[in-house]
């Protein structure tokens, strides 16, 4: 019976190899060294298999950082790091052979310079993903380039320099070859190149994936001499530091670099006689790239492509989008959550009151939607940090954050001279809580190159509504934070929207409504307000607002007639509307104020 110890086990190659080893009749145990977070993925490769034993460890640590088996027959080192530590373990475990994948020159010298453990080397050419499942291995930069070029009409012919030949093989084929060669008798130090049956021109590798993506194909290649002339001209231009830096920056953004090309090119013929002789009669041969390029590209586009969220956004679909809404238990937040849930979004509900969140979550579930509740006091910094950690741990990221939670105080500034806490409280909820949550989620959005933050602000920022100095100051801070952050992060796929709402009839405005504080001024319904938030989520416009009552109009009037606009704001917004029950308001208050202004020549 045979035991195996495999490093790099969580990779596509590693999981394929482990499956093949477990199929062998004489296999006793396969130990797989991996990080604990990869255990679930490993177990899916060998479900309910008692002979498969994942081990937590670290190749960078002596002894591999954990408790290792005392004896193994084969150590298969699929990683290019930690070679010395893996070799030391092989000696301790009495391994019959040490199998090294793609060693560096230094590591090969180390392995060849010892005779305690027989060693063999395996050198696959450029390795692609699994030809059966499509799971990619290391071709992400090429696929990203193809994906971006797919936005160009597919019928457009492309020209490219002759970049030589490429040799590509799928990971499942490499795994099958390894499984065979590991059990083939060979002297220590034998090296096995693993190549495709026939190399392809580099542009044909691109064309195979371009066909899968609907991208334009290369139909003309420039002769090598002409390509060399172009390279010489490029080197000449590169002498100018600014041009060199610009070229590198642009090519890096589209996923094209000399390093990428070098990885695919095979500049010299490689002698794989030893491999072909060892595989004779095995029936193993690499499938042609054209047979599996579509499979790999489809898998990558659906599961790996960092721009896949952006593609779904272009379709205006919310299905599957993770939308976190604060202040979700009532009012605008509640109605927004119900609406996006109906459109298939996974809604993450945040508010202080756990019972109301649970009721909303249950209502969404009854209507076939998906929602999770996260009770949190957003004014507690530690609680917000814990919320970010929990959400990212459970969902990997948030696609849309809606900063809706808010606190409003309607009080004249002269009545607040001894109430600094009014301003501190509004800033704590409306600004600092929203900023803290946004800052916590931004790194994951930047990593995924997509994210959208919707800040629910107010039309009062346009018409400067009197008696709301505490509330408007906090919303102005949030609004400017969003505008500036959006200008900084635009090219990274992260956008900010500000939804400038007029007065909305919610629990927050109810106390003032009871004594007719707003006179004849119409209040927006929560349903209409939620529809504007939804519009911001879908369109990602920088500002979403309505013309009435007097938002953009007030801004225009302030530019055209600033003194008159200021006077009308005072008379209509302050004097005609009472600050509290029993205050003088309406025409008498306006008349008195006009008299004061005329007397003092305002």
Residue 470, CA atoms < 13 Å, CB-side half-sphere: 23
Report the residue count for the chain.
602
Write the DSSP assignment of 104-150 as a string of letters: -HHHHHHHHT--SS-EEEEEESEEE--TTT---SS-HHHHHHHHHHT
Only one residue has tokens 């490429």, namely: 166
Backbone CA torsion sign across 288, 292, 294, 297:
negative
* Distances in whole angstroms, Cα of residue 367 to Cα of each of 331, 349, 422, 466, 530: 19, 16, 40, 42, 18
Element (H, E) at 251: helix 241-254
State the Rg of the chain over Cα: 33
Only one residue has tokens 């060399």, namely: 228
Residue 522 · residue 549 · CB < 8 Å:
yes
CA angle 65, 70, 76 (to 5 degrees): 70
How far, rounded to the nearest angstrom, does the alpha carbon of residue 251 sit from its chain's CA centroid?
21
SS3 content of the chain, % helix, strand, coil (to 5): 50, 15, 35
Going by C-alpha positions, the residue among 122, 123, 67, 116 that lies closest to residue 96 is 116
Give the whole-angstrom CA distance, residue 178 versus residue 7.
14
471 is catalytic: yes
Residue 111 · residue 141 · CB < 8 Å:
no
Going by C-alpha positions, the residue among 171, 187, 33 that lies closest to residue 97 is 187
Residue 110, CA atoms < 13 Å, CB-side half-sphere: 16
Active site residues: 471
């Amino acid at each position: 019976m045979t035991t195996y110890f495999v490093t790099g086990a969580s990779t596509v190659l590693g999981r394929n190899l482990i499956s093949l080893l477990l199929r062998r009749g004489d296999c006793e145990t396969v130990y797989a060294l991996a990080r604990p977070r990869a255990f679930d993925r490993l177990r899916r490769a060998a479900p309910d298999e008692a002979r498969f034993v994942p081990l937590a460890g670290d190749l960078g640590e002596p002894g591999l950082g954990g408790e290792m088996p005392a004896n193994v027959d084969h150590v298969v080192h699929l990683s290019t790091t930690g070679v010395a530590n893996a070799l030391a373990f092989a000696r301790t475990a009495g391994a019959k052979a040490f199998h090294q994948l793609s060693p560096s020159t230094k590591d090969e010298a180390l392995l060849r310079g010892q005779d305690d453990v027989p060693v063999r080397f395996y050198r696959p050419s450029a390795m692609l993903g699994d030809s059966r499942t499509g799971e990619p291995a290391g071709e992400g930069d090429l696929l990203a380039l193809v994906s971006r070029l797919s936005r160009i009409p597919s019928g457009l012919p492309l020209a490219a320099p002759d970049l030589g030949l490429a040799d590509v093989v799928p990971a499942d084929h490499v795994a099958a070859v390894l499984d065979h060669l590991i059990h083939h008798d060979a002297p220590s130090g034998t090296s096995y190149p693993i190549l495709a049956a026939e190399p392809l021109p580099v542009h044909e590798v691109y064309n195979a994936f371009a066909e899968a993506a609907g991208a334009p194909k290369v139909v003309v290649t420039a002769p090598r001499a002409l390509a060399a002339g172009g390279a010489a001209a490029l080197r000449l231009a590169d002498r100018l530091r600014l041009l060199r830096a610009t070229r590198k920056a642009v090519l890096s953004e589209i996923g094209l670099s000399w390093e990428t090309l070098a990885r695919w090119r095979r500049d010299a013929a490689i002698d794989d006689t030893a491999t072909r002789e060892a595989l004779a009669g095995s029936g193993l041969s690499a499938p042609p790239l054209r047979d599996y390029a579509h499979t790999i590209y489809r898998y990558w586009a659906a599961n790996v492509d960092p721009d896949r969220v952006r593609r779904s956004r272009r379709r205006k679909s919310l299905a599957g989008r993770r939308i976190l809404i604060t202040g979700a238990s009532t009012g605008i937040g509640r109605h927004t959550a119900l609406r996006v849930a109906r459109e298939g979004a996974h809604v993450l509900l945040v508010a202080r009151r756990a019972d109301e969140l649970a009721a909303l979550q249950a209502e969404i579930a009854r209507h076939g939607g998906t929602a999770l509740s996260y009770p949190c006091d957003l004014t507690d910094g530690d609680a917000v940090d814990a919320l970010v950690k929990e959400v990212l741990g459970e969902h990997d990221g948030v696609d849309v954050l809606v900063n809706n939670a808010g606190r409003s105080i309607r009080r004249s500034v002269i009545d607040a001279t001894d109430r600094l806490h009014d301003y501190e409280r509004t800033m704590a909820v409306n600004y600092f809580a929203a900023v803290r949550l946004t800052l916590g989620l931004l790194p994951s959005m930047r990593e995924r190159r997509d994210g959208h933050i919707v800040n629910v602000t107010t039309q009062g920022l346009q018409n400067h509504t009197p008696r709301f100095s505490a509330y408007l100051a906090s919303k102005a801070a949030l609004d400017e934070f969003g505008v500036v952050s959006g200008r900084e992060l635009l090219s990274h796929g992260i956008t900010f929207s500000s939804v400038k709402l007029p007065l909305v009839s919610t629990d927050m405005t109810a106390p003032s409504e009871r004594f007719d504080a707003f006179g004849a001024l119409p209040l927006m319904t929560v349903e209409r307000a939620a529809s504007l938030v939804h519009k911001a989520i879908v369109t990602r416009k920088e500002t979403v607002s309505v013309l009435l009552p007097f938002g953009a109009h007030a801004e225009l009037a302030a530019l055209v007639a600033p003194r008159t606009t200021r006077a009308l704001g005072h008379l209509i917004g302050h004097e005609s509307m009472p600050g509290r029950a029993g205050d003088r308001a309406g025409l008498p208050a306006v008349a008195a104020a006009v008299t004061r202004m005329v007397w003092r020549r305002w």
